[in-house]
Amino acid sequence: MLEKSIPISIPEKVVKPGLVNLYFAAFAVTLPFFSVGCCLSWTSPTLPALSDADWIKVDDEQGSWIGSLLMLGATLGAFLSGQLLDSVGRKRTLLVDVLLLVLSWACLALARPLRSLEIIYLGRFISGIGTGVAFAAIPLYVSEISDLNLRSALASMSEVFLAGGYLVEYCSGPFLGYSGLILVSSLMLFVSLVLFTRTPESPHFLVAKGRLEEAVTELCWLRGNVPPQLVEDELKEIEMSMIVKRENNSGSLSDLVMDKANLRALLVCCGLSFFQQFSGINVMLAYAEPIFMKTSSSLSPAGSAVIIGTVQFLTACCTPIVVNRFGFKRLLMGSAIVMTLAQGALGLYFYRDEHHLDVSELGWLPVSSATLYIVSYCLGFGPLVWAVMGEMYSPSIKEIGTSTSTCFNWFLAFLITKFFTNISSFLGSYAAFWLFSCCCIFAFLFTFFVLPDTQGLSLKEIQDLLNGHKPNSNSNAS
């Protein structure tokens, strides 16, 4: 029973609280995002090379499937994550995720000696499954192990590793070749497997399964090898949330939509997911070089993509600091405003170019606009949508809620990535970018009017806020 008392033994030597263990655990489980970033941007340098390779010929339609099958697989991966997280635990789910990503790169490597487009399709679909699991499981794990004051910053760490993966693809893709790029893209996964041996299970999962002594041990370790009495309050809060979960016998889709707080959390997470994808990010990542090939810029397409990747990585490194200072809501609103301007400017350039108007003086505009877009995305709608998912759902429906929102997110990504080339061919590239710009305007309005401000709130206080109860002013202090 969760109500039973937990035996506490005070060690002879009290170790002062520290954050090293927490940072290590967050780093270890977030590191697979590096390979996920490689998966998402692999098509940017690879598709132009495959269109004229000596072992395979890929046309535009086949290229759109190579780019979008990852997103379709991620939809399935997000659904599977909901089952895995609750049955085998957070840590084992993340281990399965790493193995899926290793398998996906192995399939892509085998495609060359086999000269098989179908194996490339299979590898991309498997990498999508791994991507979907990662985006559902990693933010959830990080939110559950984090200290209250560090939750926002640690959650945004994912963007650093994603941006590192993008940068590796953009910088090395044009030079390493097909097989070399696959090898580099998969290396960090083996580092992750080693680090996982020292990574704890989530205390939330252990309490839910009645493994209280293990939960105490892991929580003490995460808080810096502190004595058990220093984590009593935090453990009691976890226990109470799990008692509510068991008493309500929750965890189904009906619970997700029938309860006021759960429904509001679903609305917030799916709404943010919609605007994240319709800001155009996956189009920018998957087709960076093909997009820049259409411009009249003096920079090469590969060089433009490298600039974008470098700026994205540098911005992502600053994100945890900025998020900890300003919180989610203000950064999301600012991000939406800047993305509106950046996508609108890209649309203006392509409109003039496709209508044969003079763009000779605007060669700087595509890269500048894309850079501005990437900076604003990395500081807002990139990491923070996933961070909101990790903290918005109550423990009773966290697994099903997170997987549902992530499925929705990746299905939208599939539609946009698959049909971007069709829209560009039919209406023109400018129409797609102006559509993204309009969606960013609505993203600002949605964030301002619908997203609750959760800065400085515990997970329990967030649920109270979603139920319409104002948190204590002391709790909400920044």
**pLDDT tens-digit map of 325-369:** 888 899 999 999 999 999 999 899 889 988 888 888 887 888 888
CA 391/CA 471 separation, integer angstroms = 16
* In-domain check, residue 141: yes
* In-domain check, residue 248: no
Residue 466's φ and ψ, nearest 5 degrees, are -65, -25
Verify that 74 and 190 share a domain, yes or no. Answer: yes
Q: Which of 182, 199, 216 is the last residue of a domain?
A: 199
In this prediction the pTM is: 0.77
Verify that 87 and 182 share a domain, yes or no. Answer: yes
| Model pLDDT for residues 141-190, shown as the tens digit of each residue | 998 888 777 777 787 788 789 889 988 998 888 888 899 999 999 999 99
CA 68/CA 433 separation, integer angstroms = 18
Domain range enclosing 406: 253-468
Q: At what angle do helices 383-392 and 157-196 cross, to 10 degrees?
A: 70
Verify that 71 and 183 share a domain, yes or no. Answer: yes
| Structure token pair of residue 101 | 């990503």
CA 402/CA 389 separation, integer angstroms = 6
Verify that 130 and 258 share a domain, yes or no. Answer: no
Say what the pLDDT of residue 15 is. Answer: 38
Q: Which of 154, 172, 199 is the last residue of a domain?
A: 199
* In-domain check, residue 219: no
CA 33/CA 135 separation, integer angstroms = 8
Closest CA to 440 of 325, 352, 347: 347
Say what the pLDDT of residue 475 is. Answer: 45
Identify whether the C-beta of residue 121 lies closer than 8 Å to the C-beta of residue 65: yes
* In-domain check, residue 420: yes
* In-domain check, residue 8: no
CATH number of the domain within which 325 lies: 1.20.1250.20
Verify that 447 and 341 share a domain, yes or no. Answer: yes
Which are the contacts of 99, defined by CB distance < 8 A and separation ≥ 6? none
Within the chain, which residues score under 70 in pLDDT? 1-18, 244-252, 286-287, 289-291, 294-299, 471-478
Q: Which of 177, 199, 221 is the last residue of a domain?
A: 199
* In-domain check, residue 220: no
CA 453 to chain centre: 20
* In-domain check, residue 267: yes
Verify that 46 and 169 share a domain, yes or no. Answer: yes
Say what the pLDDT of residue 108 is. Answer: 96
Give the total number of structural domains in the chain: 2
* In-domain check, residue 6: no
Verify that 192 and 308 share a domain, yes or no. Answer: no
Verify that 193 and 289 share a domain, yes or no. Answer: no
Identify whether the C-beta of residue 295 lies closer than 8 Å to the C-beta of residue 363: yes
Say what the pLDDT of residue 472 is. Answer: 62
Closest CA to 90 of 128, 123, 53, 137: 137
Verify that 264 and 192 share a domain, yes or no. Answer: no
Say what the pLDDT of residue 307 is. Answer: 82
Verify that 129 and 267 share a domain, yes or no. Answer: no
Q: How large is the C-alpha radius of gyration of the chain?
A: 23
H or E element in which residue 464 lies: helix 459-466
Verify that 362 and 444 share a domain, yes or no. Answer: yes
Closest CA to 394 of 276, 218, 243, 272: 243
Which are the contacts of 152, defined by CB distance < 8 A and separation ≥ 6? 320, 323, 324, 327, 328, 387, 455
